[in-house]
Structure 1
């Protein structure tokens, strides 16, 4: 950009040329990256077929009886009771797994012991094990014929145990890689300056782990509210006491009320999506604060 002289001899900077709207649109539509527009198109198409299209079909089906039918299905007393039980139990499970999952990840990263590789592999077992098998095992351990004389069947603590089993890996696998990357020298410096182990963890390690902990807890919560197989036997499916929303949806299908089942499914989907969105935004905000503090 060149400067020009006015008749009085003063230097007048040249005014920048405004970018035409068409150029701004072309810049916004420009695709950058390694896969190019074809790769992005394939990814969007696959996401649409696998995720968006089924969700859209489910949403349309839920409104077959109109908005009033959708609202009546979602606000039915039995549906609200199942949603209340599901959300309450899922929140408790997420909190438990945030605490225990973080502890397990810490042990796997910071401690060496015999059988560590086996324990590390067992963390992923709930991903591979059919959840109905988990329900059978839990029923044999904590059911009417419990060898430990611990009876949790047909109770909300039984639901919590079952859901904690299937959701534990989400927190451990979210926290573990972040914990591996934590700078140990900063911790050693804090300890050498007289900080206790708890203060070092709370002020140095925990802020770094917080985004991963929030993300893992959110995934555990989302998985718990939609779980069916692991609670189908141990829970007992007692209406207004241990009936999860997934079991209520199956019940509606069995009594030939598919529209009601679809409506409650959409409500459950909205709860899960909003929860994950809020937690993701919170994790990103925490990560930005951590970066700014550095």
Structure 2
């Protein structure tokens, strides 16, 4: 079997294309121009707002009959199961499979498998897909849109990052968060903190506005999470971190002047090895002046409003 044993299926709006591909590169080291990505790396689909399904490939065949034969050899013991088709939309060059055809193939392969089928509450869910003339079968993992649950919170600001963008930025900053210490030193009401905490990040936050940080703590507690949140300017941070996430202040209440932005970046260079900056301004020269190199970037669009996401080391 190919070492690419995981198949990830994506769904994204055209405005999110650039952002989604940067998240792909952060997770896998490369991106895909289509809604299909093959990789040997295992990523939990619910981490990404764009990743909808993962197939943990057990068998690959060049025909449907050969795939059925391989699936029939799978030893499942007494566990119940069901089988689903992933061809619910076009996958690379393979067109969408109509519902009646998907159901027919699901029944056909399910009847050949050793085990007790249960369509309502199965202990195991398997999936199959035909992509570019190749058939794949394996364990099926569906994404849960965790970020959607975080949209309703006690405190919201119109200028804050959306929960979807906040989650993506957190993934870009720490695609493998185990053992990584993260800080959001301009955390605002905490959308990045909530998303990061929901994915098990070791993260702390701070903000120069004490009125904001009280709301931040309430938002975090509302979802059952906890982390350190301090009212302080970035210049007062004494500890160092593996990565910092900075959403540059830009609204009328916390507008940062070019001098303020430069100071934030200089302080970020002092406290973190890597920084992911979200900005509405082009600040490449400031990034370089602070001692960083931009190693990757994208645009995050929302209608006519555009943010830049810069990965700096």
Question: Is the strand fraction higher in 1 or 2?
Answer: 2
Instruction: Decide: shared fold, TM above 0.5.
Output: no
TM-score range, shorter chain: under 0.3
Bigger RCO of structures 1 and 2 (CA < 8 A, at least 6 apart) = 1
What's the TM-score, normalizing by structure 1?
A: 0.20
